[in-house]
Amino acid sequence: MELRVLEYFLAVAREQSISAAADFLHLTQPTLSRQLKDLEDEFGKQLFIRGNRKITLTEDGVYFRKKAEEIVTLAYRTEAEMKNTDQGIVGDIYIGAGETDAVHNIARVAHELQKQYNGIHIHIISGDTADLTDRLDKGLFDFCLLLGELDQSKYEYLSLPYTDTWGILMRKDSPLAELEEIKARDLWDKPLIFSRQMLNAPQFMRWFEKSASELNIIATYNLAFNASIMAREHMGYVLTLDKLINTEGTDLCFRPLSPKQTVGMELVWKKYQPQSKATEKFIETLSALI
């Protein structure tokens, strides 16, 4: 299985057409078809369903696309880092971040770093904890900005002096909008919208004094902006962090939970992972600014 064949596979998966992918890759259609057939024969699995108008992925093909993307990305990152080792402090830094106002501080560090080293490029990718740590473990991220508890046996970390406050995002014409703070009992009979990772968060089940199955959780989200749209459309009450959605001048409002529920955050990276000059400078700059 060669890297170029993975790129061929990904091109066909993206274009959903042998002819379009062949044009993109500057290959003949028979050559590309033969490479794909050899790849399927190598695995003994069908990766594509070849229709009259377009090509779609089988279940095995969908799985393989995810793995192929990870392999190709890691290969190019490694190549770029190796080429940069003798070029001073340059390179790409990939940071996975949960949704938090603390990203402002990461951006401030990135700006300070780029003022000194214009060969450094920063890439911030949003996601929830499970997605972010999975990509960090596979070497696709250099760092992750995580909220709450972390596995200290797997990661080095730098605790950041910031906390976010949990609360409820809702319409201003909602009955609970008249309250200054939201207590658990206020939500027991309300339609709730949780982030995916909250469903397994013991902190909130203790606060609610109920299990998830006893609450009326009508929807989940992984991006607060999408959750705000659900709230705006009268779907329910969103459990989220403060400062993620600017409610000024909108029909939404935010009310903190009572008793107050806060969460700390850490910048984490894999233990025993060699750092590039660029990532070392990022840690150094962040440590100096916090």
The CA dihedral of 72, 73, 79, 83, to the nearest 10 degrees, is 150
User: What is the distance between the alpha carbons of residues 191 and 60, in angstroms, rounded to a whole number?
Assistant: 37
3-state secondary structure of 64: helix
Answer yes or no: pTM beyond 0.75: no
Given this model, what pLDDT does residue 83 score? Answer: 66
pLDDT tens, 226-250?
999 999 999 999 999 999 999 999 9
pLDDT tens, 247-272?
999 999 999 999 999 988 899 998 87
In this structure, which CATH number among 3.40.190.10, 3.90.1150.30, 3.90.1150.10, 3.20.20.70 belongs to the domain 165-262? 3.40.190.10
User: What is the distance between the alpha carbons of residues 114 and 121, in angstroms, rounded to a whole number?
Assistant: 8
Highest mean pLDDT among 51-55, 64-68, 153-157, 175-179: 175-179
Interacting residues of 171 by C-beta distance below 8 A, sequence separation 6+ = 177, 231, 232, 234, 251, 252, 253
On the question of pLDDT at 86 being above 70, the answer is no
Interacting residues of 289 by C-beta distance below 8 A, sequence separation 6+ = 105, 108, 109, 112
CB 94 within 8 A of CB 269: no
Residue 210's DSSP bridge partners are: none
CATH architecture, range 3-81: Orthogonal Bundle (1.10)
Do the two domains 87-162+264-289 and 165-262 of this chain adopt the same fold?
A: yes
In this structure, which CATH number among 1.20.140.10, 3.30.413.10, 3.90.1150.10, 3.40.190.10 belongs to the domain 87-162+264-289? 3.40.190.10
> Which is it for strands 155-171 and 252-256: parallel, antiparallel or unpaired?
antiparallel
